[in-house]
Amino acid sequence: MNKELVLTIAAFQLAIMTNIGLAQLDNPHNDPSKVLGAESCAKCHDAEIAVWKKTPHYDTFKKLHRKPEAKQIAERMGLRSIKRGETCLKCHYTEQDHGGATKAISGISCESCHGASQDWIKIHNDYGGPNISKLQETPEHKTLRREKSIANGMRNPSNLYLVARSCLNCHTTPDENLVNVGQHPTGSLDFELVAWSQGMVHHNFVASDGKHNSPSTTERLRVMYIAGTLADLEFSLRATAQATTKAKFATTSALRANTMRKKLAWIQSHLNHPTLQQAVDAANEVELKLDNKDQLIAAADKIADCGFEFAKTASGTELGAIDALLPDKSKYK
């Protein structure tokens, strides 16, 4: 095939995949029938597994149902079991399909953040055939491989917005009954993606030699900080949209959305970035009130698109003006 034709086909495939990738922005919850479980990653990612095993994400599987506070929340909600039934499974466990019924197979694991892997596991590490090594892979193939993994449901950290959405979908605790009736904590109000991901959660082995957990670059942390702010805004808007009564859940969610849109406006005033301006406009146009579901969701959808686009295109070198916001290493969880 001549070179031009190959390039045209590649560009065409990329365009299709990018569109499919955006469909992923609907809902970061995993389809339990496509979850393979952390053991299926262990063969190639044992270093990441070892890090994960020291986090509360892992521990919650063994510990949550024994905690008195957890039992009280379940009791107030009239639940007979914490490990069975949808309510707690969604955020504290990894759900897998077992003959039509959903079962908790572990705490919050690899796929909770990176997406159910059945459709992407064989794609994400394929450098271009069995005889091509990491070093031999062309940059074009690497880009295509990542796009393809995203199109197949991977929340690939090469686009930080996809992973940021995983975190905030749980850490804003978007469940009205859980908060108002169960008196569950109202999300993690001090969540901030850099501080919360660069400490105990951090597991960057493949970026280095596979053996060292290398720190993320400042450029990457800038993109991450903004992606985290956008995702927090997106999911606080979604939570506000869900609220039906003027009680704790509604007020905390709306307040959080308001804090995030102010933070984003501050960031944008220092960067003057076209994609971020679209997100600021979408957030400012919507009223944070009850009975405003459609508009709140439309704003959240718009912000999701901006977040994906921003994380895809920003290199970080152009974002130095926000460095004062980046948390000090001593703040890493």
Residue 148 is a binding residue for ligand HEC (CB under 6 A)? no
Those residues with Cβ within 8 angstroms of residue 12's Cβ, 6 or more apart along the chain or in another chain = none
Structure tokens at 44: 């190639």
Q: Which of 104, 162, 163, 288 binds ligand HEC (CB under 6 A)?
A: 163
Q: Which of 166, 229, 253, 275 binds ligand HEC (CB under 6 A)?
A: 166
Residue 241 is a binding residue for ligand HEC (CB under 6 A)? no
For residues 322 and 271, is the Cβ–Cβ distance under 8 A?
Answer: yes
Nearer to ligand HEC by C-beta: 120 or 275?
120
For residues 229 and 270, is the Cβ–Cβ distance under 8 A?
Answer: no
CA distance 26 to 228: 17
Nearer to ligand HEC by C-beta: 112 or 253?
112
For residues 127 and 133, is the Cβ–Cβ distance under 8 A?
Answer: yes
Residue 151 is a binding residue for ligand HEC (CB under 6 A)? no
For residues 236 and 172, is the Cβ–Cβ distance under 8 A?
Answer: yes
Nearer to ligand HEC by C-beta: 250 or 282?
250
Q: How many residues does the chain have?
A: 333
For residues 243 and 253, is the Cβ–Cβ distance under 8 A?
Answer: yes
Q: Which of 17, 25, 34, 87 binds ligand HEC (CB under 6 A)?
A: 87
CA distance 103 to 32: 9
Those residues with Cβ within 8 angstroms of residue 52's Cβ, 6 or more apart along the chain or in another chain = 38, 58, 109, 110, 203
Residue 204 is a binding residue for ligand HEC (CB under 6 A)? yes
Stretch that binds ligand HEC, among 4-12, 181-189, 240-248, 282-290 (CB under 6 A): 181-189
By the criterion CB under 6 A, which residues form the site for ligand HEC? 36, 38, 40-41, 43-45, 48-49, 52, 56-57, 60, 64, 67, 69-70, 73-74, 77, 79, 82, 87-88, 90-92, 108-114, 117, 121, 124-125, 134, 146, 156-158, 163, 166-167, 170-171, 173-175, 178, 182, 184-185, 188, 193, 196-197, 201, 203-207, 216, 220, 333
